[in-house]
Structure 1
Amino acid sequence: MTDTRPLPSAPPALHVLGALALELRGDAPVAHVALAQAQVGELAALVARDLAKFSPEAATLELVTVGAHYDPVEVLRPGWPLHHELDQLAARAPRDGGLKTGGRVIAFGAHEDRLPGNLAPSPDFAGGPLRLVPLLLGGDADAVARVGDAFERDLLETGMAGADTALAAQHAFGLQIEHARYLTVHDLAAMIAMQYEHAGLGALWPILETALLEPDGEHWLDAPPEPLVHYAQREARIAMFETSAWKQRYAADADCSDPQVRERLSRQHDQFQARQRQMAAVLQAHAVAVTFVHCPSTQADVRADL
């Protein structure tokens, strides 16, 4: 992804946002989620070399990365906070006062088992089959734009990491890698959207996509039998219906004089509430603020409550 919008609290700048994606093998253990500073340089140099193969002009840009791996929900968050943190830390890194013909590589590692800033991976999201090493390219705006366009066009199809890069990551992190490839954050979003579709969460993706790509935008999920969700003002508001309001919206034609129908509706209402909790948990994992809004209203004006 080439992001022309400013990172939060940062001056306007153009960056290429991406990641080295590590697809792990089965239930093999992971020895390390973060590398010591002394270990990071070799892997970062291999990443820089790989990126320059995909677009030679990438070698003229500054590469910022970290010796740690994260779950997709930690990367796909409004404002791209991991990439923002890398940018902020890199801005404070010492710079060579001399002229350079190529871009520099900045790689952050752990000191006494602690990563700098807010880069620590969350243990709540450990253990997934896809782990991501975030990376950020910056520099001359025209060069960044050209590299970003090339990556968006080609990386998903041609972005396999070098065999030595995959082996270096496998050895350093102590994990078993099936595939290692580079993705822009747009590529990653498309991949996760497909996974959510297969997991039965496709209806929620447009809300997440709006939060990621247009955080000040607005989107409705208004498609019964799904919960009613309104994303606006950087918050997802989920309608919490009173029982009568839920029936009016989702089962208006049901004959509640029949005990079997009432029992079926009770089960459906329980399932509906579980679906609400599931959607809220997914949104919160992506750091989207969630508010449950009590909605006693009739179907005609329930959207006004959100």
Structure 2
Amino acid sequence: MRHETSDDVLCTLAAVAVERPPGTPLARLALPQAEAGDWATAVAADLARLVPEAAALDLVFASALYDPAELLRPHFPLHAALERYAARAPGPDGGRVIAFGAGPGGMVPDLAPDPGLADGPLKVLPFLLRGPATEVRRIGEILESRLLDTGMADAGTALATQAAFGLRCEHMRYLTLHDLMAMTAMQYEHAGLGALWPMVESALFGDGDEILLDAPPEPLVRYAGGAVRIALLDADAWALGGFAPPGLDAQGMERAFARFEARQRQIAAVLAGHGLEVTFDHCPVGKDARAILRA
């Protein structure tokens, strides 16, 4: 995936993906600036092993661990911030390794990881390759064709990353942003959240599509214009609105409604993690919930 910065300079967007065992500790989310450069230099050398052509471009890293949802937000804000800072970096363009780590007060605000999303087993570190447009297009195509199949990091680089961040690293690999999107879509499908991915994807690229999740007993969710509205139903509105499974006794209805509310919270959290504005619209008994979401 490429991002145009000027007529003659392009960036191609990518990430380092680190998979760790669920529930294992993580010593820190970001490397101090004094350590960030050494880590990034080692990763750049490893990437050059896989894609030698990349060494001719500037490689720009955020030396911090993020949830994938933090990278996959409208306008790709973390990569956009990296590009802005790289454009101001001193020195001649081409072949530089530029790393942004944490200062005494932490990472700069537009690169700061969200500690509320720190617990996931898959962490990603964004980076980009920046340089002349023709070279970035050529090398970007190489990355797209090569990394998904051959992008596993060298064992030494994985161990160095494990030691630097104080985590257990099961796998470490390099991905283009397209690869990360495909992986995330597949994970959502496996988790029963596949219907949310079209909303996320539409928001990432600024599409104007309206997407309605209307598949009872799933919650009723509408995406339009970068914002999400979820129908907030009380127990009676849920039961009478066609969202309750048939044939349940009173206790079964109570448990099913609790699951429905938990599902609403899960959907809201996933979409908010991708930077989407989420609101709940109260839909009382006797009112058309679908019409309320479209109002």
Partner residue, 1:3 = 2
Q: Specify whether residues 14 and 303 from structure 1 end up closer, same or farther in structure 2 by C-alpha distance, changes over 3 A only.
A: farther
User: In 1, distance between residues paired with 2:225 and 2:155?
Assistant: 44
User: In 2, distance between residues paired with 1:17 and 1:142?
Assistant: 15
Q: Is 2:256 aligned against 1:268?
A: yes
User: In 2, distance between residues paired with 1:267 and 1:167?
Assistant: 46
Partner residue, 1:45 = 41
Displacement of 1:134: 0.9
Correspondences of 1:60-79 after superposition (within 5 Å): 60-79=56-75
Correspondences of 1:21-170 after superposition (within 5 Å): 21-25=17-21, 27-96=23-92, 102-170=94-162
Displacement of 1:263: 5.3
Q: Which amino acid aligns with 1:196?
A: Y
Residues 207 and 221, structure 1, Cα contact 8 Å, conserved in 2 = no
Deviation string, structure 1 residues 131-189 (Cα, Å, up to 9, x no partner): 11110112212221222222222211110112222122122222221211001222122
Displacement of 1:61: 1.7
Residues 216 and 243, structure 2, Cα contact 8 Å, conserved in 1 = no
User: In 2, distance between residues paired with 1:300 and 1:125?
Assistant: 35
User: In 1, distance between residues paired with 2:157 and 2:219?
Assistant: 44
Q: Which amino acid aligns with 1:3?
A: R
Q: Is 2:282 aligned against 1:290?
A: no
Number of equivalent positions: 293
User: Secondary structure of the residue that 2:129 maps to in structure 1?
Assistant: strand
Deviation string, structure 1 residues 12-43 (Cα, Å, up to 9, x no partner): 86421111111124544322221122212222
Unaligned runs of 5+ in 2: none
Q: 2:179 pairs with 187, 190, 193, which one?
A: 187
- RMSD of aligned residue pairs (Cα, Å): 2.8
User: In 2, distance between residues paired with 1:289 and 1:11?
Assistant: 30
User: In 2, distance between residues paired with 1:226 and 1:207?
Assistant: 15
User: In 1, distance between residues paired with 2:257 and 2:18?
Assistant: 40
Q: Which amino acid aligns with 1:294?
A: H
How many percent identity over aligned positions? 51
Q: Which amino acid aligns with 1:190?
A: A
Q: Structure 1 length as normaliser, TM-score? A: 0.83
User: Secondary structure of the residue that 1:250 maps to in structure 2?
Assistant: coil
User: In 1, distance between residues paired with 2:134 and 2:163?
Assistant: 36
User: In 2, distance between residues paired with 1:50 and 1:215?
Assistant: 36
Displacement of 1:254: 6.0
Q: Specify whether residues 271 and 301 from structure 1 end up closer, same or farther in structure 2 by C-alpha distance, changes over 3 A only.
A: closer
Residues 162 and 169, structure 2, Cα contact 8 Å, conserved in 1 = yes
User: In 1, distance between residues paired with 2:268 and 2:63?
Assistant: 31
Unaligned runs of 5+ in 1: none
User: In 1, distance between residues paired with 2:51 and 2:245?
Assistant: 60
User: Secondary structure of the residue that 1:29 maps to in structure 2?
Assistant: coil
Deviation string, structure 1 residues 223-273 (Cα, Å, up to 9, x no partner): 222122111111011122466654454259969xxxx65554454334323
Q: Is 2:194 aligned against 1:198?
A: no
Residues 248 and 299, structure 1, Cα contact 8 Å, conserved in 2 = no
User: In 1, distance between residues paired with 2:99 and 2:72?
Assistant: 21
Q: Is 2:272 aligned against 1:281?
A: no
Q: Specify whether residues 248 and 32 from structure 1 end up closer, same or farther in structure 2 by C-alpha distance, changes over 3 A only.
A: closer
User: Secondary structure of the residue that 2:73 maps to in structure 1?
Assistant: coil
Q: 244-253 or 274-283, which moves further after superposition?
A: 244-253
Q: Which amino acid aligns with 2:50?
A: F
Q: 1:16 pairs with 12, 25, 50, which one?
A: 12
Displacement of 1:11: 6.0
Q: Which amino acid aligns with 2:27?
A: A
Q: Specify whether residues 275 and 28 from structure 1 end up closer, same or farther in structure 2 by C-alpha distance, changes over 3 A only.
A: closer
User: Secondary structure of the residue that 2:111 maps to in structure 1?
Assistant: coil
Q: Structure 2 length as normaliser, TM-score? A: 0.86
